[in-house]
């Protein structure tokens, strides 16, 4: 029964990333161009720290489906609140359906975040992106860093220096 841990982790992820995942006007333009992924050679539409696809994954997957899976899971974990058999069965279907949809979204997210997008895997391994890559894929985030609106580095030097070596073993 790891459901309560899933619920707590979902809340932690929400609190960590909500600030950078609010929908902006440029996200609609990014969605209309499907991130430039469908037209070969097409430039990537500008985006912030997270593009509209990542924001959709955050809001639909992490937030909405995370809440649905958690609530349905709690109903299933605690059947002693006089739920009927029908209620338990209904919540089982809701739980399974939302979990399967979430898993499918995670697989898509993993694909695009590793082999589906050049430079993304290295960014996850090191915690850093090349300046050219940032400019090409997340132009508004890059501009905010260059103008000093947000810090280029969010971790202190010791953490930044230690983390890549820990990740690489």
- Look at 57-66, 88-97, 152-161 and tell me which has the smallest mean pLDDT: 152-161
- Can you give the pLDDT at residue 165? 44
- Can you give the pLDDT at residue 60? 96
- Can you give the pLDDT at residue 157? 59
Q: Residue 125: CB partners within 8 Å, gap ≥ 6?
A: 164, 167, 168
The whole-chain average pLDDT of the chain stands at 85
Q: Residue 93: CB partners within 8 Å, gap ≥ 6?
A: none
- In this predicted structure, the answer to whether residue 166 has a pLDDT above a threshold of 50 is no
Domain containing 92: what range? 3-167
CATH number of the domain that 85 lies in?
Answer: 1.20.950.20
Based on the structure, what is the number of domains in the chain?
A: 1
Residue 164 — very low, low, confident or very high, per pLDDT cuts 50/70/90? very low
């Amino acid at each position: 029964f790891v459901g309560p841990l899933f619920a707590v982790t979902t809340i932690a992820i929400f609190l960590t990333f909500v600030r950078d995942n609010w929908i902006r006007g440029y996200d609609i333009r990014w969605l209309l161009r499907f991130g430039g992924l469908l037209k070969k050679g097409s430039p990537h539409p500008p985006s912030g720290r997270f593009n509209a696809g990542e924001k959709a994954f955050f809001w639909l997957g992490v937030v909405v489906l995370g809440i649905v899976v958690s609530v349905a899971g709690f109903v299933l974990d605690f059947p002693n609140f006089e739920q009927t058999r029908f209620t338990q069965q209904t919540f089982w279907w809701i739980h399974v359906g939302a979990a399967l949809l979430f898993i499918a979204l995670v697989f898509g997210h993993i694909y695009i975040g590793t082999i589906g997008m050049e430079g993304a895997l290295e960014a996850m391994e090191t915690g850093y992106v090349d300046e050219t890559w940032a400019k090409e894929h997340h132009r508004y985030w890059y501009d905010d860093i260059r103008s000093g609106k947000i810090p280029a580095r969010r971790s202190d030097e010791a953490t930044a220096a230690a983390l890549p070596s820990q990740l690489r073993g």
